[in-house]
Structure 1
Amino acid sequence: MASTIETTEPKASNGFRQHHPLDPLSPTEIARAVSIVREAKGQLGYNAVTIAEPKKAQMTAWLAAPEHAEKPARQAEVVAIDRTGAIWDGIVDLDAKMILQWEKLEGVQPLITMEDLIETDRVVKADLKVIEQCGILGIPPSDMHKVYADPWTIGYDERFGNGTRLQQALMYYRPHPDDCQYAFPLDFCPIVNTETKQVIHIDIPEVRRPLNKIPSNYNPKDIEAEGGYRTDIKPLLVTQPQGVSFSIDGREISWQNFKVHVGFNYREGIVLNNITYKDKGTARPLFYRLSLAEMVVPYGNPEMWHYRKHAFDLGEYGGGYMTNELSLGCDCLGEIHYLDAFFVNRAGDPITIKNAICVHEEDAGILFKHTDFRDNSVIVTRGRKLVISHIFTAANYEYCVYWIFHQDGTIQLEIKLTGILNTYAMAPDEDTKGWGTQVHPGVNAHNHEHLFCLRIDPQLDGHNNTVFQVDATMGDGEVGSKENYHGNAFYAKKTKYSTVAEGIADYNGDTSRTWDIANTNKLHPVSGKPVSYKLVSREVPRLLIKDGGLASKRAGFAKHAIHVTKYTDGQIYPAGRHVPQSSGEPSRGLPEWIAANSSENIDNTDIVVWHTFGLVHFPAPEDFPVMPVEPMSLLLRPRHFFLRNPVLDVPPSFSATPTQVREPGSKKQVVDAADRLSRLAFGGAARQQETCCSGH
């Protein structure tokens, strides 16, 4: 039976919530930041008000000794737009009630908010020239309420530059209120001035595409009409009769040996901070900060305006802003704890997204097992995992983001892609030229990539860390040679990255390439190798945009799988702080930082690892009208970090030692032992115990 649990929030002596320095801003703090700015700067429109994270040195000093070190001040980052359309960046001290920084920005635009998207949809439907284009396709003015726009940032268009906030509207039609509009794409693209709320131009193809007339739907009514739902699915119940195995103190989660602070902001969504693992009673630091810092979705059709379709869903819209309110028993299953998210609207009022983050446990399958064929002795231990997740909707696509903690110290990032393909109209028998696929009559879905940039700020037993590239390599010597007579020698070839210029690499499947993030100051007492965490990531396509192409210039972070830089406060976003309408010239974000510091030392120092991974999507009819989830995953795994297997103390699901097997009356002894172990592992779930024992 699904349910929710409550959090425990620490209180100060005055009874108010005592904030951790990395907690997201509360509604009260957002309102206070706006009030301070409004009093000093007058009436403004607000694009973002979010936590200004403390400087790392100050934060780590406080984490090390919170009773003695000065607690970092609560500060807010503010992005605002004045009545002239000018953009302002500011830092506000909430305790001192003063503006610390206030800067007018030139040549950049802030991200597009949900309010901007909704307003653009309204604007295009009321525009006379848009109505005219709809009429050409057979949609009368009386049907304009059936026309829908997916507003996208314009990417960059040299005709308009970046002096004004613009959006492009990808157009669709919905004949019936329950129809999927992506089955009815329109063949023109309005461009909207976000500030003046006017359509300033419409891109129209030289050869017009007709409007499709055939629906393709996924709502229950249509599925019932097509034969109905499956009837052979039996209920699956997830219960934890004794409650969950994790505890939450404010936004700090303790589970098994892990402890992690869960932050959230309008851009990255979930941010994990100060991750530690208790090893034999000692809390060992693993990662200072983990987040999805950016992503880009370049489309592969070079025709017309489609080159502009390369969305930076985090930097141009905000993964936090687009996050869903999660539903119990649907998005999350089991004993659930939710965390809310708080943002600002254009008027400066706080808004709340309920249930933005889901925290729950899941069965993780077999943790370890061994059966000795000689005597039928066996041990099998099932694992558990903690999942911290959120889901955001970027127009047509859904991105389900799962941060998963495993009992053996592994941290997994899994992303599931679902939602609906971005579609475009096509004429009967039109040649897609390989740039797309007809997924429904008259509906073309273009090839595209989903490339995510993971920002890893490690602190493996300390902040001085080093990255090694690890390649499975054949040993030297030819077949028949003394050193490798049978040619079977191979080893892990490790290449240390010593400078920023060296710390740039691509993935190599031929060598099963991984990367060790290591603390070379601490060696394992048995293996003699540095304690480390291994980045295992196999889904790493190259950016399929040629050098010099617009998307390549704007998404320089995606040109390589790995970049390593020396830690610098403020270097968070690999495509730059303000992404919309950037041309890529000059480069911003990660390419800019690397160019300026290519010879900087990254060996045995405070570093950041940037990893770009993802998938290439060649659409197919099975992806339409709504796409089954396509998952991708990567791991951060401990190597030479623990003395030996760290989960030997997890209660087995079943165990029969050689001695138990041999002794008289062993069957009853084994069953009794199995029952005790089952109660430890499952809280007395006898049926699961019986299932485990039934084969022995």
Structure 2
Amino acid sequence: MSTTTTALSTETARVLRSLTADEIVANRSTLEAAGIAAADTHYSYVGLVEPDKRELLAGRATPRLVRSFLIDMASGVSADVVVDPEAGAIVSHRVLDPSVDGAVPVVIKEFGYVDEVVKQDERWVAAMAKRGLTDLAQLIVNPLSAGVLAGDESGHRVQRCFTFVSTGADDLGWAHPVDGIVAMVDVVTGEVLDVVDHVDYPVPMEAASFHLESWRGPDREGLKAIEITQPAGPSFTIDDEGVLEWAGWRMQVGFDQREGLIFHNVAIGDYTAGDGIPVMRPVLYRASIAEMVVPYGDPSPQRWFQNFFDCGEYLLGGFANSLELGCDCVGDITYLDATVAANDGTVHVIPQAICIHEEDAGILWKHTDNWNGSSESRRNRRLVVSFFVTVGNYDYGFYWYFGLDGAIQFEVKATGVVFTSAYPGEGYQFATQLAPGLGAPHHQHLFSARLDTMIDGLDNAVDELEAALVPVGPDNPTGTGFTQLVTRLERESDAQRVADNAVNRVWRIVNPTVRNRLGGEVGWALFPEGKPPLLADPSSDIARRATFATKHLWVTAYEPAELYPAGDFVNMHPGGAGLPAWTAADRPVDTTDIVVWHTFGLTHFPRLEDWPIMPVDTCGFTLKPHDFFGRVPVADIPASTSDHCAPGHHHAGHDDMTPADAHHHHHGHEEDAGHSA
């Protein structure tokens, strides 16, 4: 068997590290010096332009470039600009045509601005007065991304606005929607384009302030503390470039304002030679969650547009929580700050945005053998790298897990407050009633993982594996035989697939040029959860804008500019960008440099138990080595020790893995659960 070592050199790590504060400052200075940015310019997005990996891995010089999405909020003119911050030079400058390109993501100014503008509009004030709502200070105007623009909205930068009532500082406004009214605002001109009063529903007024003891009652008694400690420190190390090493894993951890966590050059040590010296073998060149969309399933006139792209429209990475007040990670935690750009182009540091820790993961392997009398078991542990965001009403935790057995798991933990509406009446088919007169529309949370694979090198391919019955006949006379079908996905048109749990459909990413010890192709398998993809008609606006979400799997030929599955500029885009546009070329994807895109997510029919605060619901996927190693890769894991085993239980020695560097900041013990918002 031959292997290709990963190219995570010092120079590669430098080129791919997260954007620095100095680069953000230099980017702003360069744009101002060139006259591209001025007093009314808002920086919608600022991020690193990653070089073509083929250039980088070949050792060619690759400067660090910064890409900015800009909008002049006085004129509405937006631009896509790339800067070389070290040279202080403009690399490219393109003015966008919103009718073709779409619009840059939402900027902070738009959130507060609409409240001020809408409350001065006579049509909206009259609609509120008709409902007996005359105290404007109690009314919250909620701006929402516009989706597809209507004909008379062309040329405008639009936010569609709902209204909620808040009776005081401690009230939960989501409990009191003023449903049936939508205000359309041009956030550049400050004009309220229209106020449409579709229907007059009573405003639900039952209190739901779950954060108050007066509402929920005293805390439940009887729960004893759980403490998790690592007296010798954690088993991982991380350096100043974000290179993280743990139990044979090596990867570079980065952060982006749009995608949040990004991993580069994920490699695993192959210890199966038995000499204790691992061979580092690459698995992923880059991994991230490149997009997420929350499509709502209530087609009523005031709600048809509710389809929110939290990456492409809102830049979820920039909404990362600071975990200073305690987080959901329990144990010995290392925190990392996230450095992003504020809307004025200056540096914005989110303290302790990333949480890294180890956690027990149950049994790794176990067997009691009745023939030879042996009894062995090993406990599993996993490395966890996570962050949490709050985008409007919902909170999402993004958790990447790396296991001793080579498994990579990703999990979203969705919580927060469900988006509310009025409940029209018994039998309404598009929403759930949560409280008297209060509804919650059915919706989905759909995510797209971008997995730039590098299984033992860049020549990769994807096989679809599924279970199949073998017909009764000479090969299966008893009818008990079944087999596994293997289908190679050869072109981009072949590689647009839907999961099917009924036949145990999984996708194995292989390197046909590298063989395992038995002569088979080495690979890793993607196990989908197989939950529903986008539940919208193909003719709908959202199906055109979020075409990526109509399939669980896409495979594309690698192209460095193809980063976001719904396109670069999702906000107010008419649709067709991203994966559907790229795959129209129908490029070959067999034994070449490929990117695997996986759609997964939740379909949420809200329950009474989801109100007023939603317990965590989860979704995700798993990647596992599939004929990658020559044998089980965890036979050498030492037995665990514990002070809490039953009397007389024998312990073997343990705890010989390297602790984390003590210099890394924000390192300490967390003993309380819960997450700061």
Residue 571 of structure 2: aligned partner: 580
Q: Given the alignment of the two structures, is residue 237 of structure 1 paired with residue 227 of structure 2, yes or no?
A: yes
Q: Distance in 2 between matches of 1:96 and 1:680?
A: 47
String of CA shifts for 1:460-515, please: whole Å, max 9, x gaps: 0000100000001112x32xx32111111111111001111111111111101000
One of 636, 650, 653 as aligned partner of 1:677 = 653
String of CA shifts for 1:558-583, please: whole Å, max 9, x gaps: 11111111001100011010001112
The correspondence of residues 221-236 of structure 1 with structure 2, limited to 5 A, is: 221-223=213-215, 226-236=216-226
**Aligned residues of 1:381 and 1:654 also touching (Cα < 8 A):** no
1:203 CA drift (Å): 2.4
Residue 175 of structure 1: aligned partner: 167
Q: Distance in 2 between matches of 1:146 and 1:331?
A: 34
String of CA shifts for 1:431-455, please: whole Å, max 9, x gaps: 4531111111111111111111111
One of 501, 504, 521 as aligned partner of 2:493 = 501
CA RMSD of aligned residues (A): 2.3
One of 559, 563, 568 as aligned partner of 2:554 = 563
**Aligned residues of 2:461 and 2:589 also touching (Cα < 8 A):** yes
Secondary structure in structure 1 of the residue aligned to 2:24:
helix
The correspondence of residues 408-557 of structure 1 with structure 2, limited to 5 A, is: 408-427=405-424, 430-475=425-470, 477-478=471-472, 481-526=473-518, 528-557=519-548
1:607/1:491 CA distance change after superposition, 3 Å: same
1:264 alignment partner AA: F
1:74 CA drift (Å): 1.5
String of CA shifts for 1:19-66, please: whole Å, max 9, x gaps: 72112222221111011011112513321221111121122224xxxx
Identity of aligned residues (%): 34
Runs of 4+ in 1 over 6 A off after TM superposition: none
Residue 208 of structure 2: aligned partner: 216
1:577/1:483 CA distance change after superposition, 3 Å: same
1:374 CA drift (Å): 5.0
Q: Distance in 2 between matches of 1:617 and 1:109?
A: 29
One of 227, 245, 248 as aligned partner of 1:254 = 245
Q: Distance in 2 between matches of 1:265 and 1:633?
A: 20
Q: Distance in 2 between matches of 1:330 and 1:604?
A: 43
1:28/1:443 CA distance change after superposition, 3 Å: same
The correspondence of residues 143-154 of structure 1 with structure 2, limited to 5 A, is: 144-154=136-146
Q: Given the alignment of the two structures, is residue 28 of structure 1 paired with residue 22 of structure 2, yes or no?
A: yes
Q: Distance in 1 between matches of 2:140 and 2:70?
A: 28
**Aligned residues of 1:161 and 1:581 also touching (Cα < 8 A):** no
One of 64, 67, 82 as aligned partner of 1:77 = 67
Residue 618 of structure 2: aligned partner: 631
Q: Which stretch shows the higher mean deviation, 192-201 or 207-216?
A: 192-201
Q: Given the alignment of the two structures, is residue 88 of structure 1 paired with residue 79 of structure 2, yes or no?
A: yes
Residue 118 of structure 2: aligned partner: 124
Q: Distance in 2 between matches of 1:159 and 1:233?
A: 58
Q: Distance in 2 between matches of 1:653 and 1:242?
A: 14
Secondary structure in structure 2 of the residue aligned to 1:110:
coil
1:240/1:155 CA distance change after superposition, 3 Å: same
Residue 391 of structure 1: aligned partner: 388
Residue 129 of structure 2: aligned partner: 135
1:653 CA drift (Å): 2.8
Q: Distance in 2 between matches of 1:548 and 1:161?
A: 21
Q: Distance in 2 between matches of 1:654 and 1:508?
A: 42
| Structure with greater helix percent | 1
In the superposition, the TM-score normalised over structure 2's length comes to 0.89
**Aligned residues of 1:563 and 1:610 also touching (Cα < 8 A):** yes
One of 626, 629, 649 as aligned partner of 2:636 = 649
One of 357, 362, 372 as aligned partner of 1:360 = 357
List runs of 5+ in structure 1 lacking aligned partners: 1-9, 13-17, 63-68, 656-666, 684-696
Secondary structure in structure 2 of the residue aligned to 1:314:
coil
Q: How many residues align?
A: 633
1:149 CA drift (Å): 2.9
Q: Distance in 2 between matches of 1:650 and 1:97?
A: 51
Ranked by relative contact order (alpha carbons within 8 Å, sequence separation 6 or more), the top structure is: 2
The correspondence of residues 5-20 of structure 1 with structure 2, limited to 5 A, is: 20=14
Residue 186 of structure 1: aligned partner: 178
Residue 608 of structure 1: aligned partner: 595
1:315 alignment partner AA: G
2:412 alignment partner AA: I
In the superposition, the TM-score normalised over structure 1's length comes to 0.87
Q: Distance in 2 between matches of 1:431 and 1:549?
A: 27
1:325 CA drift (Å): 1.2
1:150 CA drift (Å): 2.9
2:454 alignment partner AA: Q
Secondary structure in structure 1 of the residue aligned to 2:34:
helix
Q: Distance in 1 between matches of 2:630 and 2:641?
A: 24
The correspondence of residues 373-384 of structure 1 with structure 2, limited to 5 A, is: 373=370, 377-384=374-381
**Aligned residues of 2:461 and 2:590 also touching (Cα < 8 A):** yes
1:654 CA drift (Å): 7.5
The structure with more radius of gyration: 1
List runs of 5+ in structure 2 lacking aligned partners: 1-8, 272-277, 660-677
Q: Distance in 2 between matches of 1:59 and 1:121?
A: 47
1:189 alignment partner AA: V
**Aligned residues of 1:397 and 1:417 also touching (Cα < 8 A):** yes
One of 590, 603, 611 as aligned partner of 2:579 = 590
